[in-house]
Amino acid sequence: MFKISVVGIGYVGLVAGVCFAEVGHQVTCVDIDEQRINMLKQGMSPIYEAGLDDLMQKNYAAGRLKFTTDYNKAYKEADAIFIGVGTPEQPDGSANLSYIATVARQIAETIEKDCLVVVKSTVPVGTNDKVEQFIHDFLTNDVRVEVASNPEFLAQGTAVRDTLEAARIIIGTDSKWAKEMLMKIYEPFNLPIVSVSRRSAEMIKYAANDFLALKISYMNDIANLCELVGADIQDVARGMSFDERIGSKFLNAGIGYGGSCFPKDTKALDYLARQNGYELRTVKAAITVNDDQKTILYRKAANRLITFDGLKVAVLGLTFKPETDDLREAPSLENVPLLLEQGARVYAYDPVGSDNFRLKYPESEYKINYVDKPEEALSGANVCFIFTEWEQIKAIKAETFQKLMRTPLVYDGRNIYPIQEMQDAGVEYYSIGRQAVENKDLKLSNIHNTSHRLHSA
């Protein structure tokens, strides 16, 4: 087994470190945030991820997992150092590599024995060549150091499983020594390993993520056309899914992709192409479609209503997907500000994302209330938006909307409910790529019910 240091204890680094310890390696996780390190030592994870806390506590108690801010000691003792720091998007779409550079220089000035440096962070093609040269430029001791690429392919909410039961592990190396060492590190995982050059590994990460983003945007584009021509996108997706060349995953239409990967990676690859004098037209189209898709329900509702001013608006789901507290590029971040600007009184529910959203939109500054139950958001609401398909939201019965809302008007960005079920319950229901309710008798009934509620109040 190897002594491994993992630097950057965010989403990528913490999951990697815990899983390396789980298969038997001695792992030291390094971060400059003392508060975060203290949390980890107390057995509390700074991120919400299913199964991570238990594995972390188990391996910490067994002595295979350590947490520290002292990078000097951690790097000196390491056989391999995995870099998992952030590469945030810059205004022009390029990746900010300053954190990578800082860590690379620290490694160069600290290591005292032969060491393999492995970049797990998502970086533009050619970055690992520069990282290796940068380390050599600042190297203090006469030791062998090489850089390898090892991109991660984690889905938030299933990251531990995606690591321990990965479909494949991608390693990018430019020497036999680096390749053999990295393969030995991953040997205990007993998973397929795809060994390629460093640049190919860097490109695989972008190509894979951007392809999935393309599938999502394509289905959303088709969904929008389905609404215009009278087709149902769920029927279309089901028919497509039987074709093994297409597969069944990432065919669900909705209000666009979000998270830490797809938005950033599509823009980064588009930027890389432009820097090399090439236009990635498919990726550009995916970006454009996704940007438009995020507010499509808001625009539908704005056309249906005279104004949002003074209305109680229920928002169900704040995170970009279920089983995570991550808000990055979430549709809620596009729509809630629009609603607030128009004078809406927003009542928001999310099982785990409310605290993070509150940091951006505190109750003291905005007309927004964070509630503990979806029923609190729906009670007396004039309109409801569904942005995340949490199980707690999917469990709401169709008749609950009709019973609790002042006007049972629902805009569902995740196509949770069958249209007929909502219509039978007396709900005016709009979704993505399916036919909106056009039952005039239903609308007249809703107007009558609303009038009755007002006179009874």
Task: List, by residue number, the catalytic residues.
Answer: 261
Do residues 354 and 378 lie in contact, with contact meaning Cβ atoms separated by under 8 Å?
A: no
Q: Which residues of 238-259 are buried (b: 16+ CB within 10 A; e: fewer)?
A: eeeeeeeeeeeebbbbbbbbbb
Cα separation, 110 vs 105, in Å, equals 9
Amino acid making up residue 59: N
Is the separation of the CB atoms in 217 and 255 below 8 Å?
A: no
Q: How far apart are CA 281 and CA 273, in angstroms?
A: 10
Give, in order, the Cα–Cα distances in Å from 186 to each of 20, 76, 168.
Answer: 8, 22, 11
Distance CA(81)–CA(120), nearest Å, equals 10
Residues 407 and 316: their CA atoms lie apart, in Å, by 16
Q: Look at residue 256 and give its three-state secondary structure.
A: coil
Q: How far apart are CA 381 and CA 239, in angstroms?
A: 37
344: left (phi over 0), alpha (psi -120 to 50) or beta: beta
Distances from the Cα of 265 to the Cα of 186, 188, 208, 211, 399, angstroms: 26, 30, 10, 11, 41
Cα–Cα distance list, 87 to 75, 122, 205, 265, 395 (Å): 21, 7, 14, 10, 37
* Pick from 178, 196, 201: nearest CA to 124: 201
